[in-house]
Chain A
């Protein structure tokens, strides 16, 4: 009861926690039950750890590749959305294009973070990272291409001359029909 704590919500008024998570020996004054040896468990660890770590590394590498290939799905979806949006400038197409541009940029900015959980000395993350970056760049390219098809990129002459003032004239001439 002394270690119990009431959990709010979920319909219960109170509860007692019976499990003890504490592992340090000093904090306990109760001896281990017979037949349970703490040491043997730790020794057992060392025996299986190598195998376990290999598996983990494999798993991490696999996961990293998965993450690296994730933008492909995104690419297809973006492509589909862009096709749906059409080539005229309106709220929908602009929104899609902006998200198509922002998503790869954000992904690229967070490359390190994305691969953080899979960081391991034995796992070579370089290749997945490169693939990830390349795929995102493709996504970005797609976004830029969309921007261009919408005519929002200043690639035309018209984008640079639209506020060009008229040239000055050297000569000046006036007159007309004589004033009567």
Chain B
């Protein structure tokens, strides 16, 4: 029998080694995580299509990304995300090898190497006052042996060497308060001119020597009617502007310092002209584009400043800049919408009118909206004629490359600007899977297991290894469209800034459906709509299971708090809009209530700017439920500008001109006024509404019980000294302090107030169960700190009678009210932390049993998981044996950063803005979605997957082990029988 035990032990050892470790192995990357890279809505694009190099387009975007894209497939060659404060103003290509970006309002000029995106040089161009940033890169102007470019920014014009970014000369042009609008350099000349407005009634032009910067001439001239808006350059010595009344166009000619004006009434040019004309920024010599509220007009400027309408086009038309063709001609592209398709026209512009070079219709799916921008580029076809490729930016921020009437590639770059995320369940799997499929699956399964076994026993060939890796990556239906037992497969409903809703599959990150919401599109009534947030509207779990889940999208027309709101309800399975309400009351707060109606629609309370509460859904049933609970519903608002925290209760119906049963007035209950000279609200945090807490008791190693103070109505609020709101370094440690409050939002009772002297924001905080973790900067220690506060209920601590607990005659689980005086005790501790943070989140699990991890979005755009055990106020320098057994880590002054605990492993989520955690059905596991310019999704098990076998668990190995054991038992049994017999015969 000994033999059998030995065999068993050996096999057991082999088996136990096949369990995975805590962190990820290299070959596990991509098994349960995915990463997508985006660039955002394209602002500028410069093509680089020289014969020798790979064809590419360099773009800069609203997300502050400068990137080089492959023109063949749309992939990213390289990409740089600049800081949000360092907004890119202009891009261009210099010397055919450098990408030049002008950013920060014309203060920073950088050159990036075109092939690989390395930064070559950087120049800072400081100046006294902000002005319109301008970049001009002449193709072949040399000063000495260096190619130069001109930059206007902060009131100075700079001539800068393209090679090393050295400033060759600079000249202040802001002397008379001139507002420079354009820089002009005519090829071959040695002067550069800058034109702009002085005040609103004067046009001025500077002429400088291009090589020395010497001011040759300054002329200005008064125009009686005045100007409004920007100046648009038409040719090297002609510009157009609109007069201050907005009724006529002014053509300005300034050849060689001689300024002349020519005024044309708009009503003469355009029939049915009413109002609101704007000159769209364009760059087509001789032609400019005038946009009115119902049309777009191409207008040509004739010699002596006369104007002639070339073409009148529909409202939603985008026009590209001019493209210079090899033959000295120029062309530009127009994109129009015509019955669900887009019509692309490339026009050849010559002195005697325009002619169409190309006309194509392309079918795009109807969830793209209107064309926003067009960029055109040419190539030489086989038959030596000119072909055109066109890059278009759509309303939903997506990017398309069109060539020969077809879409070459497309990018969903709207996903770079996610506003809010909500998870949704997938449909339940239907019965009746065919037998053939199962057999096939079974065979595949066995084959897979055999391969895996080979891998485990290290007898796999390289081919097998690749097959295994491929199989793991595609692993067993992780991208199926049905719910799974572990709850890993879900939909992530994502709202983007462009007002488009996407459903992403958590298995592989693909887009299941997308919808450009009608309510969030620009319309007559809603000029600048904006999506604010997403809410779970209907999430059928118990009954109403035949209903699809749906989400509520809340938006607003305009930027101010009192602008009208828009609401839509969208089916989470199909993306169809079930219901929408436009132009409702303003929306200041959205409070999802904890009640649902018989259809499992969640009741929502929307508060407007006048502190009226509006109940949704607007049904009698919902009203009935709400009326019953009316006395127990409160709300609070933190007014950051005034520094007041106010608490309100919801009262009777509001008194309006027309009766509205779903509108309720609110009454002020309490307010906390923070002294404005010393405190300013910096951050607030509340518990996640769907967080589940498993138990109210915390048991320590010495069998003591501490009762957690678990309340959904607790608010964490941090204030900093008003002076310290600025960047680090703007205050001395003595002047600044960070004050932290814990406030009960029902009664307004302050449960805790802690002052951190010498500390400043930015404050990031997470609130979970009975603890808060927050992050701030300590000026005295010159380091970031993290603190934890745990709140315990002292009133419950007396429940020490075991008999009562055994018999269940205690009142620990009976409902409690905030008006009963809570006796809380808190424990807190602070630690140094190396990173500065962008965002913070905490893991959520289905039942709240699993221990927690705090997810930190670091400044390096990575997500770091920090065990809550490190943030335990009971840590001491020398824990006792019992405390060690409980898992208390010896206290250290700083929190350790374990490289393996980076959730994002080697990847970066560029421009990280938020982290969302969603509990899976499996208690040990939580789903993490981090978004910024990039998207990243993974699964986390904070206490490891204690409730399931890991995915790469080898069932074949287990079966073989069992088989081998059975065989071993038989063999050893026979052996022992034989041996015994021999003994007896001896």
| CB-nearest residue of chain B to A158 | B699
**With contacts A158-B699, A161-B695 known, is A171 near B805, CB below 8 A?**
no
**Would you give the shortest CB distance from A19 to chain B, in whole angstroms?**
26
Given contacts A169-B713, A172-B632, contact A163 B694 (CB under 8 A): yes
Q: Let me know if B812 is at the binding interface, CB within 8 A.
A: yes
Please encode chain B, from 632 to 671, with 1 for each CB lying within 8 Å of some chain A CB and 0 for all others: 1111111110000001000000000000000000000000
Kindly supply a per-residue 1/0 record for chain B positions 842-885, scoring 1 wherever the CB is within 8 Å of any chain A CB and 0 otherwise. Answer: 00000000000000000000000000000000000000000001
> Which of B587, B638, B697, B712 is in CB contact (< 8 Å) with A169?
B712
Contacts of B561 in A (CB 8 A): 178, 180
Which residues of A164-179 are within 8 A (CB) of B?
Answer: 164-179
B607 at the interface (CB under 8 A from A): yes
- Residues from chain B with a CB closer than 8 A to the CB of A176 are 589, 636-638, 684, 686
The one of B532, B812, B984 in contact with A179, judged by C-beta atoms closer than 8 angstroms, is B532
B697 pairs with A172, CB closer than 8 A: no
Residue of B nearest to A174 (CB): B591
- Knowing A164-B697, A173-B746 are in contact, say whether A158-B815 is a contact too (CB < 8 A): no
Q: Are B703 and A178 in contact (CB under 8 A)?
A: no
Q: How far is the CA of A160 from the CA of B605 in the complex (A)?
A: 39
Task: Tell me which residues across on chain A come within 8 A of B705, comparing CB atoms.
Answer: 156-158, 161
**In whole angstroms, what is the CA distance A91 to B693 when docked?**
33
Choose among A158, A159, A168 the residue with the greatest number of B CB atoms under 10 Å from its CB.
Answer: A158
B816 x A167 contact (CB < 8 A): yes
Neighbouring A residues of B745 by C-beta, 8 Å: 173, 175
Q: Is B965 an interface residue, CB under 8 A from the partner?
A: no
Q: Is A8 an interface residue when CB atoms closer than 8 A count as contact?
A: yes
**How many Å lie between the Cα of A178 and that of B562 in the bound state?**
11
Contacts of B818 in A (CB 8 A): 169-171
Cβ of B301 within 8 Å of any chain A Cβ, yes or no, is: no
- A162 / chain B contacts, CB cutoff of 8 Å: 695, 697, 699
The yes or no answer to A155 lying at the interface (CB within 8 A) is yes
Chain A CB within 8 A of B533 CB: yes
Cα–Cα distance between A171 and B744 once the two chains are bound (Å): 11
- How far is the CB of A167 from the nearest CB of chain B, in Å? 5
Residues in B whose Cβ lies below 8 Å from that of A161? 695-697, 699, 705, 707, 799, 805, 812
CA–CA, A167 and B805, complex, Å: 15
Q: Using CB atoms, name the residue of chain B closest to A9.
A: B984
Q: Does B588 lie within 8 Å of A178, measured CB to CB?
A: yes
> Do the beta carbons of A172 and B634 come within 8 Å of each other?
yes
Question: How far is A157 from B704 in the complex, measured between Cα atoms in Å?
Answer: 8
Q: Judge whether A112 is part of the interface by a CB distance below 8 angstroms.
A: no
User: Contact partner of B805 among A151, A160, A174, A177, CB < 8 A?
Assistant: A160
A166 to B812, CA, bound (A): 8
A contact patch SS: loop
- The CA-CA distance from A159 to B634 in the complex, in Å, is 37
Interchain CB contact (< 8 A) of B813 among A156, A158, A167: A167
Quick check: A170 and B802 within 8 Å, CB to CB? no
The B interface, classified by DSSP as helix, strand, loop or mixed, is mixed
Contact B697 A178 (CB under 8 A): no
A94 to B222, CA, bound (A): 100
Shortest beta-carbon distance from B200 to chain A in Å = 32
Q: How far is the CB of A120 from chain B (nearest CB, A)?
A: 41
Bound form: Cα–Cα A169–B633 in Å: 11
For B555-593 the 0/1 string (1 means CB < 8 A from A) is: 010010100000000000000000000000001111111
Give CA–CA (A161, B694) in the complex, Å: 11
Interface 1/0 per residue, B675-705 and A, CB below 8 Å = 0000001001010000001111101000111
Binary per-residue interface labels of chain B (811-834) against chain A in the complex, 1 for a CB within 8 Å, 0 otherwise: 011111111000000000000000
- Given A157-B705, A172-B593, A172-B713, answer yes or no on A177-B684 (Cβ-Cβ < 8 Å): yes
Taking a contact as CB atoms under 8 Å apart, the answer to whether A155 and B802 are in contact is: yes
Cα A164 to Cα B707 in complex, Å, equals 10
Chain A minimum-CB-distance residue to B797: A157
**1/0 per position for A111-146, CB-CB distance to B under 8 A?**
000000000000000000000000000000000000
Q: Which residues of A contact B710 (CB under 8 A)?
A: 166-167
Residues of A within 8 A of B684 (CB): 176-177
Find out whether the CB atom of B695 lies under 8 angstroms from the CB atom of A163. yes
Beyond A8-B984, A9-B984, A176-B684, whether A167 also contacts B799 by CB under 8 A is no
CB-defined contacts of A151 to chain B, threshold 8 Å: 703
Q: Which of B742-787 contact A (CB under 8 A)?
A: 745-746
Contacting residues, chain A, for B592 (C-beta < 8 A) = 174
Chain A residues whose CB sits within 8 angstroms of the CB of B801 once the complex forms: 157
How close is B803's CB to chain A, nearest CB, in angstroms? 10
Provide the bound-state CA to CA distance between A179 and B817, in Å.
Answer: 29
Q: Are B703 and A170 in contact (CB under 8 A)?
A: no
Q: Are B591 and A156 in contact (CB under 8 A)?
A: no
Within 8 A of B (CB), among A62-113: 88
Residue B806 is within 8 A (CB to CB) of chain A in the complex: yes
Query: Which residue on chain A has the smallest CB distance to residue B813?
Result: A167
How long is the Cα–Cα vector from A159 to B699 in the complex, in angstroms? 9
The reply to whether A175 and B816 form a contact with Cβ atoms under 8 Å apart is: no
Whether A174 touches B635, Cβ cut-off 8 Å, given contacts A165-B694, A166-B696, is yes
What 0/1 readout, one digit per residue, does chain B (188-204) give for beta carbons within 8 Å of chain A?
00000000000000000
Structural contact, A166 and B640, CB atoms closer than 8 A: no
Asked whether, in the complex, the Cβ of A157 is within 8 Å of the Cβ of B637, the reply is: no
Chain A residue nearest to B849 in the complex (CB): A163
A residues near B686, Cβ cutoff 8 Å: 176
CA distance A88 to B881 in the complex (A): 11
CB distance from B279 to the nearest CB of A (A): 32
**Residue B800 at the chain A interface, CB threshold 8 Å:** yes
**Which of A158, A165, A167, A173 is close to B703, meaning CB atoms less than 8 Å apart?**
A158
Given contacts A174-B605, A175-B635, contact A164 B699 (CB under 8 A): no
CB pair B633 A172 closer than 8 Å:
yes
CB-CB < 8 A to A171: which residues of B? 632-634, 713, 746, 817-819
Residues from chain B with a CB closer than 8 A to the CB of A167 are 696, 710, 812-816
CB <8 Å contact, B813 and A164: yes
- Once the chains bind, are B533 and A179 in contact (CB under 8 Å)? yes
Q: Which residues of A contact B593 (CB under 8 A)?
A: 172, 174
Question: For residue B556, which residues in chain A have a CB less than 8 angstroms away from its CB?
Answer: 179
Is the C-beta of B158 less than 8 angstroms from some C-beta in chain A?
no
CA distance A170 to B633 in the complex (A): 9
B interface residues (Cβ-Cβ under 8 A, vs A): 532-533, 556, 559, 561, 587-594, 605, 607, 609, 629, 632-640, 647, 681, 684, 686, 693-697, 699, 703-705, 707-708, 710-713, 745-746, 799-802, 805-806, 812-819, 885, 984-985
A sample of 20 inter-chain contacts (CB < 8 A) reads A157-B703, A158-B703, A158-B704, A165-B693, A166-B695, A167-B696, A170-B815, A170-B818, A172-B632, A172-B713, A173-B633, A173-B746, A174-B593, A174-B634, A174-B635, A175-B589, A176-B684, A177-B640, A178-B588, A180-B561
Please give 14 more A-B residue pairs, beta carbons under 8 A apart, in addition to A171-B634, A172-B629. A155-B802, A156-B705, A156-B802, A157-B805, A158-B704, A167-B710, A168-B816, A169-B816, A169-B817, A172-B634, A173-B746, A176-B686, A177-B640, A178-B588
**7 tightest A-B CB contacts, nearest first:** A174-B591, A160-B805, A173-B634, A161-B697, A158-B699, A166-B710, A166-B696
